[in-house]
Amino acid sequence: MADMDAFRPRPEAPNPPPAPLTPTVGAPAPGRSLRRTPVGASKRLNASFKSPLLASQRNVELSVVDLQNELGDLRKKSEDLAKQIAELTSEGYTLEELKQHIDQLHEYNDIKDVGQILLGKLAMVRGVTIKDLYGEFGLDLDD
């Protein structure tokens, strides 16, 4: 039953009346107003509204020359990759070997990540640094 009391609304104390405005608190200094904008002509205040969305769209639009340059760069990159593929195939490598090698690298990295996590937890339990554990287990810090 005591647990149910925690969910019942508690009566709130009435808010105290607001403090009266005095010249030192809450009122503007003599000769100043409560306006947030400066008095006087301002170009930015009287300018027409410019949507930031339209400005960002103008930045995204690329000229024909920019697109042609980018296309040329991509074609060069494609040619370079084709040359690298030709070199590897001339050396006797196959696409399947490359895929298998990449899969093995991913598996190695996953296992290494698990090892790093375990070393970190062991270091916390022992109250030592991971560097200390590397020395204890004969691991190279650059590995």
3-state helix/strand/coil string of the chain:
CHHHHCCCCCCCCCCCCCCCCECCEECCCCCCCCCCCCCCCCHHHHCCCCCHHHHHHHHHCCCHHHHHHHHHHHHHHHHHHHHHHHHHHHCCCCHHHHHHHHHHHHHHHHHHHHHHHHHHHHHHHHCCCHHHHHHHCCCCCCC
Burial of 123 (0-12, 13-18, 19+ CB in 10 A): middle
**pTM of this prediction exceeds 0.75:** no
CA atoms within 13 A on the CB side of 67: 5
Question: Which of 10-24, 51-65, 111-125, 126-140 is least confident?
Answer: 10-24
pLDDT band at 21 (very low <50, low <70, confident <90, very high): low
Residue 75 vs residue 9, higher pLDDT: 75
Q: What percent of the chain has pLDDT over 90?
A: 34
Indicate the average pLDDT of the chain. Answer: 78
Residue 24 vs residue 113, higher pLDDT: 113
pLDDT band at 51 (very low <50, low <70, confident <90, very high): confident
- What is the per-residue pLDDT for 125? 95
Nearest one of 117, 113, 119 to 131, comparing CA atoms: 119
pLDDT band at 66 (very low <50, low <70, confident <90, very high): confident
pLDDT band at 57 (very low <50, low <70, confident <90, very high): low
- What is the per-residue pLDDT for 22? 53
Write phi, then psi, for 47 (nearest 5 degrees): -75, 155
- What is the per-residue pLDDT for 82? 92
